[in-house]
Structure 1
Amino acid sequence: MRAVRWPDVEGKGNAHVPESERDRRVRYLRAWAQAIGGGVREDDAAAVVRRVFAVQAQDATAARLGIRARSRAVDGEAVRVAYEDDRSIVRGWFMRGTLHTVPAPDVRWLLRLLGPRLLRAGERRYRELELDEALRERADDLLKRAVTTHGPLTRAELTERLAPLGVPPTGQAAFHLIRHAALRGILVHGPERAEGEYAGEATFVLLDDWLLDDWLPDAGAAFPEDAAAELARRYLKAYAPADAADFAAWAGLPAGVARTAWRALADAGASAEYAGLTVPARRATQDADETDTPDVRLLPAYDNYFTGYRTRELSVPAAHEKRVWPGGGVLRPTVTVDGLAVATWSRQVTKEAADVRVEPFAPLSREVRDGLAEETAAVSRFLRPE
């Protein structure tokens, strides 16, 4: 293994690094931070989520695959246990108003920071759907009573419960009311329905009931004094090297709020400079080991590694960007080598097997093909265990 030396706190030694070498090093260190490079893998699902802070989760299967890609031999059952039995990770609407899986102890302060902003941002859509404040409050109360009485309910079942308020069963009104209750800290995603008409679908539960006592704050002690700065610190740990614009794009915070939070890290001595970007201060004198063997990972659709920065120029070759982002908000499953996209992939799952098809951007080296064979076999086992 060869070591990649972090610069000292002053960033000395970086001025003469060639641009291509600088980009390669930044990309490698980002992949290392995200546990998709440098041979880094975490032991369990909760450890993965703690490391990356938030796994993109608008597609539940993709979220599980994102955890798999960053872990050692974690199977689908282990991910389910983390969500449903240990309840150490929680799925909900957080950064940018998008579904993410986050560590359970962080749910409440994240909602306190982001929830009101997202609700204000949704006012125009509420008006378009004729969901005035009084109706939203009645819906919050009705949804809370429904889940209290009947236990975990799917989106379709909650939509049925909203009918007495005049909410149509089709369209987006019911979804936005359910999301409103979640952003207010009333509902959160719970277990998947095990059987019946809605087998395999996510359910919603009461947040206060779902979070275990271990995750409840003691007299507010679990709430950071400056939540925006805390979010910046978590982001920097999981995505560095990065800058304030990257943080703002990832978090969905206003640029001014993001810049203030970013400066707070520097003022507190919690960050340092690296090649014109920022890293956690404690990494400024640490080594990050870079392996001689290419580190190949199959990342799922919408993976947070690709959505965590303002631009994707370091992670996806410009000539192949459309193959990863074809348009319409689609972000395809992607094969990376030390953080660089080299292919897209797709899956076909049947009762008999899970087949993985890879479409390389260019011919792959034998070492990469060997790593790819291991990864595709691991994904197949994960999707269709024997």
Structure 2
Amino acid sequence: MTSKASRTNQVGRADRADRADRAVTWAEASARRLERQFLARPAGRGTPVAEVVGAMLGAHAQVLSAAEVSVGVRAVGVTQADVRAALWDDRSLVKTFGPRGTVHLLPAAGLPLWCAALTAVPVGPSPFPPDVRVTEEQAEQIVAAIGDALEGVCLTVEELGEAVVARTGSWAGDLVMPAFQDLWPRWRQVMHRAGWSGALCFGPNRGRKVTYTRPPRFDPAPGKEALRELVRRYLRAYGPATPQHFAKWLAAPTGWAAALFTELAEAGEVEEVAFEGAAAWVAARDTGFPDGPVRGVRLLPYFDAYAIAAQPRESLFPGEAYRRALAGGQAGNYPVLLVDGVVAGVWHQRRRGRRTTVTVEPVGRRLSAGQERELGEQVERVGEVLEAKAELVVGKVTVGPHA
């Protein structure tokens, strides 16, 4: 007679095998991701900008105009003015430090989740030498000082530095951090942690100078549950995916990500599928995929969320596109041309007053007449987002990758 525990284990193994036998192709995964990213069909007119950004899991905003294009090409009628209004007028968006410690636009309503999840990710070893880095105690002092200094005001980085040093000590202002052929003060190495904790976000520019302020106070979600919810949202947006894909997107340790996925699997919150012949995961009960591939032409700007997060990268950047549209294997450094859901070229726009020239360089294929017409429409749309008259030039992009 078989024991109850043995029968349970057999059922578990059978269920796991059944899930793993669910084969998902790249075309199916790509079609679902594009639909959920509003790239198969843009969000309807009047869709809140924050909803579009939420579907992307944040819009990379180191280059704000690129973030505006990322959002604009995903929503009918949205322009850079609408994105800026969401940031600075109704404050439904926040510009702050997001995944990988990079600048993102995030929905303000999602800050309790984002801050709790990001601060719960293990921090790797400091890249700085011992005489430059700060201790954990000093990092906490700096973050607290930043939050206190920014309460109700907008400060430039120089003004914020003076306030931090006044609240901590001269050690925080030591010019020891190599940065862009210059030296930055010691305290700046934990600015991203201040953003993650909710002590800092970006304010409106003061002339040409960036300012920082403090977002409205909120109660963070419990860290462990926030992480689990972030995994579920990531898988809904970019699944099927592996723990390694999630770790790369978040700049987190792969072993830690694998343990987190195992915990979620044991709790029945994620399901295993076979994706392009390898094991991958989707959110529990989120196993439906479109029947056919997505057709069409799209233009994605620098550091677009889809180009960075969609994996495996070799499938998104097939053949010659992998060499041309990536910088040493890193996505985002070139704006990309998508054709039928995969990267098929690069592009660049040069603004002159109220006009912009968009140069598109297809790679690895010739565009059909229909695709060229659609490309022209997409170039017009980029111009509308940037509130400029756009002209299409098909030819070689001579601009190198963005740093």
Normalization by structure 2: what TM-score?
0.76
Deviation at 1:133, TM superposition (A): 5.6
Q: How does 1:121-200 map to 2 (within 5 A)?
A: 121=124, 123-125=126-128, 127-129=130-132, 131=134, 136=139, 139-140=142-143, 142-148=145-151, 151-159=153-161, 161=163, 165=170, 166-168=173-175, 170-173=182-185, 175-190=188-203, 192-193=204-205, 196-198=207-209
Identity of aligned residues (%): 28
SS of equivalent to 1:172: strand
Aligned partner of 1:288 among 283, 287, 290: 290
Higher relative contact order (CA 8 A, sep 6+): 1
Bigger Rg over Cα: 2
Query: Deviation string for 1:277-313 (max 9, x for gaps)?
Result: 33334432x4637577x33221111122122155411
Deviation at 1:368, TM superposition (A): 1.5
Aligned partner of 1:347 among 346, 349, 368: 349
Evaluate the alpha carbon distance shift between residue 71 and residue 156 of structure 1 in structure 2; reply closer, same or farther with a 3 A threshold. Answer: farther
Moved more, 89-98 or 159-168: 159-168
Q: How does 1:362-373 map to 2 (within 5 A)?
A: 362-373=365-376
- The amino acid across from 1:205 in the alignment is T
Contact 1:55 1:101 in 2 (8 A): yes
In 1, the alpha carbon distance for the partners of 2:34 and 2:383 equals 23
SS of equivalent to 2:240: coil
Deviation at 1:230, TM superposition (A): 1.4
- The amino acid across from 1:324 in the alignment is A
Unpaired runs of 5+ residues, structure 1, are: 1-8
- Does residue 260 of structure 1 match 2:267? no
- The amino acid across from 2:124 in the alignment is A
Contact 1:302 1:333 in 2 (8 A): yes
Evaluate the alpha carbon distance shift between residue 260 and residue 317 of structure 1 in structure 2; reply closer, same or farther with a 3 A threshold. Answer: same
Aligned partner of 2:103 among 64, 74, 99: 99
Query: Deviation string for 1:103-158 (max 9, x for gaps)?
Result: 2233234333323646x436452735254567655644554454347x21233443
Contact 1:44 1:71 in 2 (8 A): no
Aligned partner of 2:54 among 50, 54, 59: 50
Query: Deviation string for 1:254-283 (max 9, x for gaps)?
Result: 223322332344344443444333333443
Contact 2:27 2:292 in 1 (8 A): no
Contact 1:155 1:204 in 2 (8 A): yes
In 1, the alpha carbon distance for the partners of 2:139 and 2:283 equals 41
Deviation at 1:92, TM superposition (A): 2.1
Evaluate the alpha carbon distance shift between residue 230 and residue 141 of structure 1 in structure 2; reply closer, same or farther with a 3 A threshold. Answer: closer
Q: How does 1:239-318 map to 2 (within 5 A)?
A: 239-276=238-275, 277-284=280-287, 286=288, 288=290, 290=292, 294-309=295-310, 311-318=312-319
The RMSD of aligned alpha carbons is 3.2
In 2, the alpha carbon distance for the partners of 1:349 and 1:365 equals 28
Moved more, 55-64 or 108-117: 108-117
SS of equivalent to 2:261: helix
Alignment match, 2:358: 356
Deviation at 1:85, TM superposition (A): 2.4
Alignment match, 1:336: 338
Alignment match, 1:68: 72
Alignment length (residue pairs): 354
Unpaired runs of 5+ residues, structure 2, are: 1-16, 177-181, 390-403
In 2, the alpha carbon distance for the partners of 1:61 and 1:127 equals 37
In 1, the alpha carbon distance for the partners of 2:140 and 2:19 equals 52
Evaluate the alpha carbon distance shift between residue 167 and residue 179 of structure 1 in structure 2; reply closer, same or farther with a 3 A threshold. Answer: farther
- Does residue 25 of structure 1 match 2:32? no
SS of equivalent to 1:314: helix
SS of equivalent to 1:355: strand
In 2, the alpha carbon distance for the partners of 1:328 and 1:156 equals 35
- The amino acid across from 1:103 in the alignment is P
Normalization by structure 1: what TM-score?
0.79
Moved more, 332-341 or 301-310: 301-310
